[in-house]
Amino acid sequence: MNSFAHRNHAFTIVAALALLVAGCSLATAAPGSVTPRGRFLAQTDATPVPATGQPVFQPACTPPADKTFRVALIIAQGGLGDQSYNDLAYAGFQQAQKDFPIQAQVVQSPDIVSQGQAVLQQAGQAGFDLVVDLEFSTADALKAVAPQYPQTQWMIVNLPSSGSNITGYLFDEQDGSYLAGALAAMVTADPSIPGINADKTIGVIGGVKSTGIDKFIVGYKQGAQDVAKDVKVLVNYSNGFGDPAKGKELADAMFGQGADIVYQVAGGTGTGVIQAAAAADHYAIGVDTDQDALAPGHVLTSMIKRTDYAVYDTIDRLVCGTLKGGETVTLGLKEGAVGLSPMKFTRNLIPAEDLDRVDQLRQQIIDGTIDVWNVIDQGYPDFFQ
């Protein structure tokens, strides 16, 4: 983990709530679902798969000169420094601070799962214009707290809107994970690729078992088995998002069972999966942000999920007066909001026909020819037991 991960970003709950009061500084689409605005659509349309890279954002309006908006960002499990979900969302928050007249507050709790309702309650009392919640486990608490503070707009990632002043942002993670699984299946079947053994075995390590995490894992398994039914997919869970040592331990076990590629869906825990891949001379697949550079040549690809855009977009809507609540924004392959990384360290190892096939699969998902299973609204498939 880089030096950023070692900085002391985590407030105690008392300090975080004191700052709030002082006023410093996974689910089906709900009725009223909307698609994102057009400025994002052209940013990430590269071949053979969407390349995200640095976000290039453009405000949808001229921000008002006579008003400052107060915005809080509640960090999820794993914390800042996870080099994944939270860090990418925070990057969008930082960009919004540059582009808009906002007074910004980042809040971390040492245990957001148990303290989530208290954090939300204090955020409401502090009178923020917008509170962005990255933590999925606070869904019930948000549904209870938000109506008490109707003047505050609330946004939650990975869940639909559950109230008139709540905006939900959903991602089609299953679609990007399908592509990751398909690529992994092609690569594990080709022992001519360095680091690939004769076993057709791949793995995936999730954080806490939940439908939100299994949405990734089921898509990954479906993609792999659609490409090669004889590929074995190992599945395990770390039961947390901030323990790289646990991630390395679980990945080492999978490599010991013949896997040569392991997909991490475990936030900061997943950095240990990447470390294990490098040590074993095999491959990891990163998640959320482009993690390819964490172990160049040993991260096959990363399944990118643009939480940075979701955070930026909701602040843009607030400033421009179009954030009304009661909506669910859904982002997927078509918008470039999920997809695979450019693979700049591994592209030359993968046969061109495999890359072309991944691109074809991507287009088939967009066109509706391929229907990727979504455990949130379809339950669990028979092939995932």
Among 87, 21, 164, 104, which Cα is nearest to 319's?
104
The answer on 191 and 144 residing in a single domain is no
Instruction: Express each pLDDT in 289-319 by its tens digit.
Output: 999 999 999 999 999 999 999 999 999 999 9
Sign of CA dihedral 34, 40, 46, 49: negative
Q: What is the pLDDT of residues 159-183, one digit of tens each?
A: 999 999 999 999 999 999 999 999 9
Burial (CB count within 10 angstroms: exposed 0-12, middle 13-18, buried 19+), residue 114: exposed
In a domain, 239, yes or no: yes
Asked if the model's pLDDT at residue 385 lies above 60, the reply is yes
Taking the C-alpha atoms of residue 136 and residue 178, their distance in angstroms, rounded to an integer, is 22
Is 134 in the same domain as 200? no
User: Do 250 and 298 have their domain in common?
Assistant: yes
Q: Which residue has the higher pLDDT, 104 or 1?
A: 104
Can you tell me the distance from the alpha carbon of 68 to that of 73, in angstroms, rounded to the nearest whole number?
Answer: 16
Dump strand ranges (E) for the chain.
69-74, 102-107, 130-133, 153-157, 166-171, 201-206, 232-237, 261-265, 283-288, 299-305, 328-331, 338-340
User: At 255, which CATH number?
Assistant: 3.40.50.2300
194 in any annotated domain: yes
Taking only Cα atoms into account, the Rg of the chain, rounded to an integer number of angstroms, comes to 20
Same domain, 247 and 145: no
For residue 180, is it within any domain?
A: yes
**pLDDT tens string 241-292:** 999 999 999 999 999 999 999 999 999 999 999 999 999 999 999 999 999 9
pLDDT tier, 90 (very low <50, low <70, confident <90, very high otherwise) = very high
- Looking at the fold, whether 182 and 282 belong to one and the same domain comes out as yes
Identify whether residues 213 and 289 lie together within a single domain: yes
* 130 shares its domain with 40: yes
Same domain, 110 and 223: no
The pLDDT, as a whole number, for residue 4 is 29
End-to-end CA distance of the chain: 33
pLDDT score at 38:
33
* Residue 43 and residue 61 in one domain: yes
What's residue 41's pLDDT? 31
Is 365 found in the same domain as 288?
yes
* Domain containing residue 364: 174-305+338-378
pLDDT exceeds 70 at position 28: no
What is the count of structural domains for the chain?
A: 2
pTM (global) more than 0.85: no
Same domain, 282 and 318: no
Residues 222, 286 share a domain: yes
Span 200-255, pLDDT tens digits: 999 999 999 999 999 999 999 999 999 999 999 999 999 999 999 999 999 999 99
Q: pLDDT-based confidence at 335, cuts 50/70/90?
A: confident
Q: Check pLDDT > 70 for residue 384.
A: yes
Q: Is 385 part of any domain?
A: no
Averaged pLDDT score across all residues of the chain: 87
Distance between CA atoms of residues 43 and 73, nearest Å: 25
H-assigned helices in 202-351? 211-227, 244-256, 270-280, 307-320
